[in-house]
Amino acid sequence: MSNNNIFSTKVEYLKGVGPQKAALLNTELSIFNFGDLIAHYPFRHEDRTKFYKIDEIEDDLPYVQIKGRITRKEFVGEGKGKRLTAQLRDDTGVLELVWFKGGKWVDKQIQEGVSYIVFGKPQRFGYKFSISHPEMELITAETKLEGKLTPVYHTSEKMKVKRLDSKGISTLMLTLLKNTYEHIQETLPEYLLNEYHFLPKKLAVVYAHFPKDPDLLNQAQERLKFEELFFMQLKLMATKMGKKTEKFRGQVFGKIPTLKEFYDNHLPFDLTGAQKRVVREIFEDMKSGFQMNRLLQGDVGSGKTIVAFICMLMAIDNGAQACLMAPTEILSQQHYVGLKEHADKIGVSIALLTGSTKAKERRLIDEQLRSGELKIIVGTHALIEDKVDFQNLGLCVIDEQHRFGVAQRAALWKKTSLAPPHILVMTATPIPRTLAMTVYGDLDVSVIDELPAGRKPIVTTHRTDANRLRVFGFMKEEIEKGRQVYVVYPLIEESEKLDYKNLMDGYESICRAFPGMPVSIVHGRMKPEDKDFEMQRFVKGETKIMVATTVIEVGVNVPNASVMVIENAEKFGLAQLHQLRGRVGRGAEQSYCILMTGKKLSKDGKFRLETMCRTNNGFEIADADLKLRGPGDIEGTQQSGILNLKFADISKDATVLQDARKLAEKILEEDPDLTLPEHAIIKAQQARFAKRETNWSRIS
């Protein structure tokens, strides 16, 4: 067998596997060949370097390892309760071992008067401890009594039945590593191994499974962690740099007469420092000659709309058109209203195109887009339908990127006969820096990390249902001052009916508590026109209270609203709570967010509420969210596959990630095609990743 394909050998050819176990490995763990199996790294190691004496056992030990002799063994109980018990004795005391079902098999394996190493979780019964279903290892002349770190592998119930428990996998792994060790190829150049004092790949792989001591385990993990992040970043960087080639030439937008006129005479407020910086960054891209792919992150209410408008003017000033796509009709409409206010001041044509645009109006829009008469178009994904043709689309702004897939972004590219449009993705969901570097590693990132002057931080408090009357009293006071109030209810799919009832009950109790007060209600079961009508009433200030489900989560802008009451706040995730809170605090008034819950809260629920009360900073909240949920759950990461990491944890390994990214950048800058001899090894590994799904730790 040649070096190259030993890792592609089917797993059933490994000694000890056979067709049945192979089938289980395939279906339960997606392990098909030797390479897959090696990459099934243990998720932890049990420290079996320590042996306990029986009198050292105490409460709350996760597991203990004891050397002792079996002094008595017997079956007790009847029928289903029948079990095997044995006494293990050392020079400090006696411990009971118990096997429930399956005791018969164990009975044959262990003998009275013989010594064993016993491993398991101790449980207290009265004064005594016992261990059920311990692992037993016969002590022989070959047994190494100095102990070891034992790998613990993920497995499944079905696999356990076929003796593919963690120990079973460990046995296979040992055989496999003995047979393939010599074939494991180095993947990092020697100069890097020396610079970072990394273990060679072969050793790192072996020690990640079977370390001799905790220090070697650590060294192995550090190396493999770095390698994962390095190759991931290398791929993202290469994509990003690759875009700056002939193929991705962009339209050059260097003239800005209208923009200047708008800036000098019509800007309704001074831009914040962060807004100015971001505008400059985007302008640099737009005139660079390469296509822009930029992510604009701005916390809720940080003023992304005006930035988007200014960028649109850059395109328009150079004879191109601009579009803005939003995920929902309500949002497109709002963006349209917001942008139109600016556009009207300097005579730039703008229109709204959504699923509900009437046929006649739509025909006109289509015509004007084709002729180039219409400069800005705002809409939902209706915009990227095949029928829509632009004369020359120069900039596409996408709001809330998560809901648009890559395919949709690509579809936009076809909308122009010249170079592809510049793309600006706006998101109000702050993404932790580490995550942005990975998920959006191929985009450039701009951040608006400053709120407009004069904004007062929103005061957030947590109240229980017992305080409801006082909360109503507070709402009344604010409304009397001329402000408006949101009351938001969760709507979660599994319990939709129940939640809907909660919402309606809440609406009725508010109508009772505020007799004669105009109250709006908006929820997902309403027709779009009705939703819109109610929203507009609230926007215009005709209604004072808006009772709603999370449909109002993103983007709604009613600066006069100063109180956000969130019912059943414990049911929301952090990102969502932060978004909802961002609907207030958009004007100059002091705003409040009141998180209502029942008395009992889970640990996570409590943490979320405390985080919300502690900070208004979206990035801090995003970091807390990442720690709480892990990267896999953060919106937008699941499909990307990019986070297929075994060793690195981007919520903890920010520094390693930074280092790996810098290194990838440096290498590609010096040697973009990896042609230097010392980089051949990296190039080979990169080619392997290019061929298949990104599993950054698979051995090939």
Ligand X SMILES: Nc1ncnc2c1ncn2[C@@H]1O[C@H](COP(=O)(O)OP(=O)(O)OP(=O)(O)O)[C@@H](O)[C@H]1O
Report the interface residues with ligand X, using CB under 6 A: 269, 271-272, 275, 298, 300-306, 428, 452, 555, 557, 559, 582, 586
Least distance (Å) from ligand X to the CB of residue 298?
5
H or E segment at 115? Answer: strand 115-120
- N-term to C-term CA, the chain: 14
Task: Let me know the angle formed at the C-alpha of 252 by 422 and 241, rounded to the nearest 5 degrees.
Answer: 60
**Cβ distance to ligand X smaller for residue 9 or 302:** 302
Please tell me the distance from the alpha carbon of residue 453 to that of residue 381, in angstroms, as a whole number. 34
Which is nearer to ligand X, 503 or 554 (by Cβ)? 554
Residue with tokens 């320590």: 50
Hunting for tokens 């831009």 — which residue is that? 271
**Which helix or strand (DSSP H or E) is residue 426 part of?**
strand 422-427
Question: Measured from the CB of residue 274, what is the shortest distance to ligand X in angstroms?
Answer: 9
The SS3 of residue 123 is strand
**Please, what is the minimum distance in Å from the beta carbon of residue 335 to ligand X?**
9
Is the CB of 234 or the CB of 522 nearer to ligand X? 522
Q: Which is nearer to ligand X, 324 or 594 (CB)?
A: 324
Strand order in the sheet with 122-125: 122-125, 128-132, 93-99, 83-90, 64-76, 115-120, 135-138
* Residue with Cβ nearer ligand X (428 or 594): 428
As measured in angstroms, the least distance from the Cβ of 275 to ligand X is: 6
What is the closest distance, in whole angstroms, from the C-beta atom of residue 426 to ligand X in the complex?
7
Which lies closer to ligand X via its Cβ, residue 304 or residue 375? 304
* E strand spans, 139-263: 148-152
Which CB sits closer to ligand X, 188 or 548? 548
Distance from C-alpha of 138 to C-alpha of 241, rounded to nearest angstrom = 59
Residue nearest to ligand X (CB): 303
Minimum separation from the CB atom of position 542 to ligand X (A):
19
CA distances to 32, 33, 184, 193, 692 from 25, rounded to whole Å, are 7, 9, 22, 34, 20
Q: Which is nearer to ligand X, 366 or 450 (CB)?
A: 450
Nearest-approach distance from CB 579 to ligand X, in angstroms: 7
Quick one: which of 642, 627, 619 has its CA closest to 696?
642
- Least gap, CB of 403 to ligand X (angstroms): 14
Q: How far is the CB of 556 from ligand X (least distance, A)?
A: 8
User: Please, which residue, 296 or 699, has the CB nearer to ligand X?
Assistant: 296
- d(Cα 422, Cα 311) in Å, to the nearest integer? 10
CB 227 within 8 A of CB 187: yes
96 touches 68 (CB < 8 A): no
Contact yes or no for 318/394 (Cβ under 8 A): yes
Find tokens 């047994």 and name the residue: 143
636, two tokens: 């937008």
CB of 525 to ligand X, least distance (A): 25
Between 512 and 540, whose beta carbon lies closer to ligand X?
540
* Secondary structure element (H or E) that encloses residue 95, with its range: strand 93-99
Residue 213's identity, in one-letter code, is D
Strands 484-488 and 561-566: parallel
Pairing of strands 545-548, 376-379: unpaired
- Between 287 and 583, whose beta carbon lies closer to ligand X? 583
Tokens of 439: 């998920």
Q: How far is the CB of 436 from ligand X (least distance, A)?
A: 16
In 17-76, the DSSP E strands lie at 44-48, 64-76
Which DSSP symbol is given to 33? B
